[in-house]
Structure formats: structure tokens, C-alpha cells
Amino acid sequence: MNFRTFAAFVGPSVFMMLLFIAFPLLSVFKQSFYITQPIYETVEVETCTPGFLTQTCVTELKSQPVLDDEGEIVTRTEFVGLQSYRNVLEPERAWRAVTEGNWSTLSTIDFWKALRFTLTFTLITLPLVLGCGLGIALLINSAAGAIRGPVIFVSLLPFIITPVIGALSINWLFRGDGILTALLEWWLQRDIALFAQAWTIEILMMFYRVWHVAPFAAVVFYAGLQTVNQDSLESAVIDGATRWQRLKFIVIPHLMPLIIFVSMIHLMDAYRVFEEIIGFSSQAYVISLQWLTFDYLVPDQAGNRSISRASASAMLTMIGIVILLILPLRRTWRDHKGGH
């Protein structure tokens, strides 16, 4: 395929990605090195607001942005180098905490707290998703033909459900005296508050994620199981291989590309964990890297946002994901070269 044909095929797709992903990304990259801020002046202002029956008027010094002749806010953009990265990472505080061996102090610094949780979340859910997915796929595969359809259908439900609603429904089930908490309390005969400490919330969040993603893994693996070479399985049986050996030496190697595919997708998705934080309102106990970026980005009531720190934190998040993906990607490179 020559370059022009290739460009014609790929062009529209690349154009859209450039316009809506690469271009914003470049501006994020640039913003992480600059700070743009309005120029404020301090003026004395009298403000009157309603009290209950009478008005309260206060005169005080307030910072107001300077407006130019056209009524636009005058802003100043300044190159600050790595300052925003430093503000996000807080290296001095973090280093002090590390040298003193004081891990609990380290875990009160936002970025490190978020990184700790994001990595734990990603690395713990990964094997669980793969394991549950493979388990469910094997179970479905060994089930009678007539019930496979309905079982696959039910299994897919957690995967297709709108994430916002999924997190909310877990909330209803467990929050306060939610029905499942009530059940647990009845079973263990003690008062349980699942949203009152970090570790129970973390477990709930991981449980939710595995519940949500395992069906995807299961269906992919199930599709893969349909193409396992039956002859080699049969000859393995004749050779006296146990079920476990057959699984280990024939089925899993056959599924290996799919396992890597699912792992890659899951690494990417779990690393940007966000809906769980909002859905479980876990900010008090655990936060994630994407939540941190989001928090910098959302304007407070008075409309201020920390664009520069948000950009820096986004870039740091991206570096993290690239590191995580290097291993699976090397294999893709070999395949790509080998396939042609």
C-alpha cells in the first residue's frame, strides 16, 4: 500500500484524533510550564447583601481584576518552568517524609496519596479481573449449550450498565443501612459502617471495578476458548494430562494474546480510576490521580481554577501510564514487524 492510499484511508481518523486529542494535549503540555493569571488590584468596595429583614452593608478591601478598555480582564502569562510540577509533587515534604521513614506523613501529601491508591487499585484488580474473567469463561464453556445464551446475557449486564448508575446502585446497597449492609450486619451480628474507614471503601471500590470489568474479560476469553484446538486437547487427555495441566499447557498459552489484550485495556482503564471516587464519595479517605487532576481543574465557587497544576498533574499521570504500558507494547512492536 503506497503512502497516498494509506493517508486516504487513515486520514479522517488521524485528523479527528489530532484535532480533539493531540491539540488539546499539546496545549496542556504547554500550560504545565506557564501560569496565566489576572492582574489584581486592591480596592475598597461597599457590598450590601440581604440580612433577614434589613440589609447588611460592609466596606472592605477586595482584590479585583483589572479590566482593559474593552472590558476584558487583563492577564499575565509567565513561564515558570517546573514550578507547577514541584507544587504538585511537593518533593521537599515528600523527601523529608521518606528520609524520616514516616510513611503516614507521605500519605497525607495529595499526589503521593493518589499515586499510592491508583497503583494499589490497578495492580490488585488486574489479577482479580483476569482470574474471575477466565473462571467465568471456563464455567460458561463447560455449561450445557441451552443455558449458555442466558448466562452470557446475565454476565454481560454489569459490563454494559452505565458507570454512573452502577456506582450509585452500589451506593444504595451499602450506604448507611443499605440492604446489603443490613444483611452483613445480620450475618455478623455487629454494627457495620462501610463508609467510615479507608480500607472498607477501598475494598468496595475494587469489588465494584471487578464486578464491572470481569464480564468483558469473560466474554473475550469465552470467544477465545471457542478456537482452542480440540485435537491437541484430546491428545493431551490420551497422554494422561490432568485437567489442570491441560489448562496450563494448552488453554492458557492459546489465550495469551487475549490475556495481554485484556490486561492492557484494564491497566489503562484502572489507572484512570475516577467514577468510583465520585460515586463512593471517598475523597476523605482515598483519592486517585485523575480525581486530583479533576479537582485542580474544577472551578471553585468564585471561579478560580488551577489550570497549571492540573496540566502538570495530567502530564505526570500520562508518564505513569506510558511506563505501565511499555512491556505489553514491546510485544506489539515485535508482532507488527513480524506480521509483514
Partner 1 sequence: MSSRALRQPLSLRLTSGVFLAIWCLVAAFPIAWIAIMSVKSPVDAYDSNALNVILGPATLAAGNGVSVLDILFGIALIWGMVRLITRVVPGQIRSYCAPGQEWVGWVIGVLVSLLVFLLAALVVLPAVLGVLNPMAGALGRDVLGLTTEHYRTVWIERGFINNFRNSLIVTAGVVTVSLTVGTLAGYGLARSGSTLAFWILLIALIFRALPHSVLVAGYLPVFINSAEWLAPILGDNAPTLYGKPFAVIAVLVAINQPFTIWMLRSFFQNIPAELDEAARVDGCNHFQAFRRVIMPVMWPGVITTGLFSFLLAYNDFLVTSLLLDAQNQTMVPAIAGMFNRETTTTDQVVAVAAAVSIIAPLFFLVMIFQRQIVSGLTAGAVKG
Partner 2 sequence: MKLKTILFAGAMSIAASGAWAACSYENEVPLKSLSAGFEAWKAVTDAMAECGNFSASLDQEFREKQPEAFAADPSLYQIGGVANETMIPLLNAGTIRPLDDLVAKYGQDLLPNQLIKVDGKTMAIAMMVNAQHLMYRNDVLAELGIDEPQTYADVLAAAAKIKDAGVMDYPIGGTFKTGWNLAQEFVNMYMGEGGTFLGEGNMPTINNEKGITALETMKAMTEFMDPEYLVSDSTYVQQQFQQGKIAMANLWASRAAAMNDEAESEVVGKVTMASAPMGSTRPSTTIWWDGIVLASNMSDEEADAAFRLVMEGLDADMVSANNDAAVWLSPAYTPGELAAGAAASAANGAGPYPASAAMGVLHSALGNGLADYLTGAKDAETTLADIEASYITAAKEAGLISN
Burial of 141 (0-12, 13-18, 19+ CB in 10 A): middle
Classified as helix, coil or strand, 8 is: helix
Residue 164 within binding range of partner 1, rule CB under 8 A: yes
Distance CA 122, CA 158 (A): 19
Q: Any idea what DSSP says for residue 39?
A: P
Residue span binding partner 1 (CB under 8 A) among the ranges 61-69, 89-97, 197-205, 323-331: 323-331
Alpha helices in the chain (DSSP H): 3-17, 23-31, 83-89, 91-99, 103-106, 110-142, 145-160, 163-174, 179-188, 198-225, 230-238, 243-246, 252-271, 275-279, 289-297, 307-338
Q: Which is nearer to partner 2, 5 or 42 (CB)?
A: 42
Binding mask 105-144 for partner 1 (x = CB under 8 A): ------------------------------xx-xxxxxx-
Q: How far is the CB of 25 from partner 2 (least distance, A)?
A: 21
Binding mask 68-97 for partner 1 (x = CB under 8 A): ------------------------------
Which is it for the CA torsion 33, 36, 42, 46, positive or negative?
A: negative
Distance CA 211, CA 214 (A): 6
Q: Which is nearer to partner 1, 94 or 156 (CB)?
A: 156
Site for partner 2, rule CB under 8 A: 35, 37-40, 45-58, 62-65, 67, 71, 73, 76, 84, 87, 104, 107-108, 110, 175-176, 193-196, 198, 280-285, 295, 298-304, 306, 308-309
Distance CA 336, CA 338 (A): 6
Partner interacting with residue 47 (select from partner 2, partner 1, none; CB below 5-8 Å by kind)? partner 2
Distance CA 235, CA 187 (A): 48
Distance CA 119, CA 113 (A): 10
Partner interacting with residue 24 (select from partner 1, partner 2, none; CB below 5-8 Å by kind)? partner 1
Binding mask 232-271 for partner 1 (x = CB under 8 A): -xx--xx----x-------------xx-xx--x---x--x
Q: How far is the CB of 310 from partner 2 (least distance, A)?
A: 10
Partner interacting with residue 118 (select from partner 2, partner 1, none; CB below 5-8 Å by kind)? none
The residue among 200, 223, 221, 202 whose CA lies nearest residue 129 is 221
Distance CA 313, CA 304 (A): 17
Residue 306 within binding range of partner 1, rule CB under 8 A: no
Binding partner 1 by CB under 8 A: which of 40, 95, 103, 172? 172
How wide is the angle at C-alpha 144 spanned by C-alphas 139 and 149, nearest 5°?
A: 80
Partner interacting with residue 55 (select from partner 2, partner 1, none; CB below 5-8 Å by kind)? partner 2
Classified as helix, coil or strand, 35 is: strand
Q: Which is nearer to partner 2, 149 or 299 (CB)?
A: 299
Q: Which is nearer to partner 2, 56 or 120 (CB)?
A: 56
Binding partner 1 by CB under 8 A: which of 35, 98, 128, 152? 152
